[in-house]
């Protein structure tokens, strides 16, 4: 089976490929000749995942899935949320996003946060949604060299490591994306 993962993000693609069964060939947007940035104009993670999956289905007539992930920080009233990738601006700069997050949390005692990933799958003219959540808190400074996005400042509950200090296999077992992907993989195995 061939399945398009609607992403240009090579780090995200690498994470997903590591979890997928070998009998499913994953193709990225680049692999199918889609080099444009698919607009993420919805005001929810579910909506953005659906927009991206529908774009691929409509323009390339291929079975596909797309995800959207947001970091929700309690004391920031849910920020950055749906704007996580563009928190510090449209350039989607990970370092600038982390700096803005840490700056906004400087005077806050409550650093509770959760990551949420929603995956929209378009397969055989049906759409399915899968969700994964990982709770934790935001560290006061970056720790670790692995991962991407907010991984260096997010420490999941029941762990003494940030996501960026974990090997990919360790992170995938507990992460929001890992959970959502497992639901997707289990569904595809039926």
Q: Shortest CA distance to 2 belongs to which of 66, 63, 65, 58?
A: 63
d(CA 116, CA 72): 8
User: Where do the domains of the chain lie?
Assistant: 2-188
Assigned CATH for 2-188: 3.90.950.10
Active site residue 67: no
Give the pLDDT confidence of 18-53 residue by residue, as tens digits.
889 889 999 999 999 999 989 899 999 999 999 999
Report the pLDDT value the prediction gives residue 167, as an integer from 0 to 100: 93
Pair type for strands 112-123 and 80-81:
unpaired
pLDDT tens digits for range 50-65: 999 999 999 999 999 9
From 63, 67, 68, 151, active-site residue: 68
Beta strands 2-5 and 25-27 are: parallel
The pTM of this model reads: 0.93
Give strand pairing partners of 68: 118
């Amino acid at each position: 089976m061939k399945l398009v993962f609607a992403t240009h993000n090579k780090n995200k693609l690498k994470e997903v490929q590591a979890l997928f069964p070998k009998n499913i060939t994953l193709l990225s947007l680049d692999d199918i000749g889609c080099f444009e940035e698919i607009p993420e104009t919805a005001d929810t993670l579910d909506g953005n995942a659906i927009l991206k999956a529908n774009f691929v289905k409509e323009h390339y007539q291929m079975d596909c899935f797309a995800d959207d992930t947001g970091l929700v920080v309690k004391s920031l009233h849910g920020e950055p949320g749906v704007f996580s990738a563009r928190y510090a601006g449209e350039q989607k700069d990970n370092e600038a996003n982390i700096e803005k997050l840490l700056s906004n949390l400087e005077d806050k005692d409550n650093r509770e946060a959760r990551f949420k990933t929603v995956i929209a799958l378009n397969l055989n003219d049906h759409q399915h949604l899968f969700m994964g959540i990982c709770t934790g808190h935001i560290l006061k400074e970056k720790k670790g060299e692995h991962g991407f996005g907010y991984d260096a400042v997010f420490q999941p509950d029941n762990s003494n490591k940030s996501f960026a200090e974990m090997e990919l296999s360790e992170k995938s077992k507990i992460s929001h994306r890992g959970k959502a992907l497992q639901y997707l993989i289990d569904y595809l195995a039926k």
